[in-house]
Amino acid sequence: MEIAAPLTLRATLEGLVPAERARTLFLPALAGAPEALFDLLALLPVCDVNGGLTACLAAGAIGDGPAPVAALFCVDPFLRVPDLAEVLLAAGLRRVANYPSIQTVDGETGRTIAAVGYGPQEEIATLLRLRAAGLEPVGCAASAGFAAALAAAGIAPVLAIPALGSGCRTFAPFTRAPFTR
């Protein structure tokens, strides 16, 4: 398993030095929202994560410098992997991550979502389709079990999703097996 540098969740690339850009998990749909609420807002149906990214790319907002990691909602029922991969590659983005992640939705809601085919395993399947389309997946895991599932699928590096509601925007790497933080 590859050990990676932490990524910081950001909604904009403005004012970042090259090293910060390269260590950014880029989620432009949250632009204008309070940073302390990013983790909660990313999961609520208040923004179109993938649409916000493609609109940002169409506007040329990536600019010059190292490319960030694109945050994608991998269980979006309207996601067309070939089309999105083409847009990302044309914009110079090579790395993608499964964030926001459905893994953080638990209980009855989580079971219902998984029962209709939009659970965490679909995130892995989408990351594999994105890799087949020429992109480099970065796995985001909310548990050691999901980190192991990502690694078993050949997805590396794997980063730990901060605790929901913590306001933390840093995604640190899981360490070697048994995938502890």
Q: Residue 53 in contact with residue 100, Cβ under 8 Å?
A: no
**For residue 177, pLDDT beyond 80:** no
d(CA 59, CA 55): 6
**For residue 181, pLDDT beyond 70:** no
Question: Stretch 118-143: mean pLDDT, rounded?
Answer: 95
CA distances, 79 to each of 5, 6, 36, 39 (Å): 28, 27, 27, 21
Percent of the chain with pLDDT strictly greater than 70: 93
**7-171: CATH topology:** TIM Barrel (3.20.20)
Residue 108 confidence (pLDDT) = 83
Strand segments (E) across 3-151: 7-10, 24-26, 69-72, 95-98, 136-141
d(CA 42, CA 49): 8
Q: Residue 49 in contact with residue 11, Cβ under 8 Å?
A: no
The band of 3, judged by pLDDT with boundaries at 50, 70 and 90, is: very low
d(CA 23, CA 9): 9
**For residue 117, pLDDT beyond 90:** no
Summarised one tens digit per residue, pLDDT across range 43-100 is: 776 789 999 999 999 998 888 889 999 999 999 999 999 999 999 999 999 999 999 9
**Beta partners for 158?**
139
Pure H helices in 119-168? 120-132, 144-152
| Residue 113: both structure tokens together | 């979502």
Residue 1 confidence (pLDDT) = 39
**For residue 175, pLDDT beyond 70:** no
In b/e form, how buried is each residue of 8-36, taking b as 16+ CB within 10 angstroms? Answer: bbbbebeebeeeebbbbbbbbbbeebeee
The band of 126, judged by pLDDT with boundaries at 50, 70 and 90, is: very high
Checking DSSP bridges between strand 158-160 and strand 170-171, what pairing results, if any?
unpaired
- Length of the chain, please? 181
